[in-house]
Structure 1
């Protein structure tokens, strides 16, 4: 259940900031996408600002957040609320206004195509239904 991949460019996060970002991303997945916090994984990467452009312009600070969830488990409204809240979380993390072309992606994967602990999400769904 969900995997969140966050990329931050243009600043280095402190240990406390990284923990806060992981905690808040997990909270958003749990509260806005109705995912189990105990089964939510968050991976944060940092890169130099010069690695990030929008159009042909370098950005002083940038961010990207992608969450992978099982296909069909969230409504359009839930995803819209998550995207808005995740964008605000990215702005908080970089400590500056972000370029409007800052992406938050909700990637939906068929249940039979992903999983954790050696089991697919589809096998978990079937077991719970039985």
Structure 2
């Protein structure tokens, strides 16, 4: 099931912000992407702004959200809606001053190339049939 990786640069986020990102990302994966909330993993990482630039220029605040899902399990419309709502989540939790280049990436991984609990997604699909 999905793995959501959120990276933040700038002021250290408060615990409430981290919890809002974790809860919000989990809800989006369930409601928009039709994934099981109890199998959605969310990692929030922080970085200092010295390690982040946009257009070669330093930033005071930045964020990036990357999610891994099984290829072919979501429609184009679902992914479009996820990107929109995930961007709104970042702005809501971290502030509206995020740069335009705040990326949301949906990585679609082949079912035979990833999994959890020691089984690939493809092995789970085959076992279910």
The TM-score normalised by the length of structure 1 is 0.94
Counterpart CA distance in 2 for 1:90 and 1:16 is 13
Aligned pairs for 1:1-130 (under 5 A) are 1-128=1-128, 130=129
| 1:54, distance to aligned residue in structure 2 (A) | 0.7
> How well do the aligned residues superpose, as a CA RMSD in angstroms?
1.0
| 1:97, distance to aligned residue in structure 2 (A) | 2.2
| 1:94, distance to aligned residue in structure 2 (A) | 2.1
CA contact (8 A) 1:62 1:94 kept: no
The size of the alignment, in residue pairs, is 129
Give structure 1 regions of 4+ aligned residues with deviation exceeding 3 angstroms: none
Counterpart CA distance in 2 for 1:90 and 1:49 is 17
Counterpart CA distance in 1 for 2:89 and 2:20 is 10
Counterpart CA distance in 2 for 1:54 and 1:30 is 31
Counterpart CA distance in 2 for 1:9 and 1:89 is 16
Counterpart CA distance in 1 for 2:83 and 2:5 is 14
Show CA shifts across 1:8-53 (max 9, x none). 1102122222112101000011111000000100011001122211
The TM-score normalised by the length of structure 2 is 0.95
Which ranges of structure 1 fall in alignment gaps of 5 or more residues? Answer: none
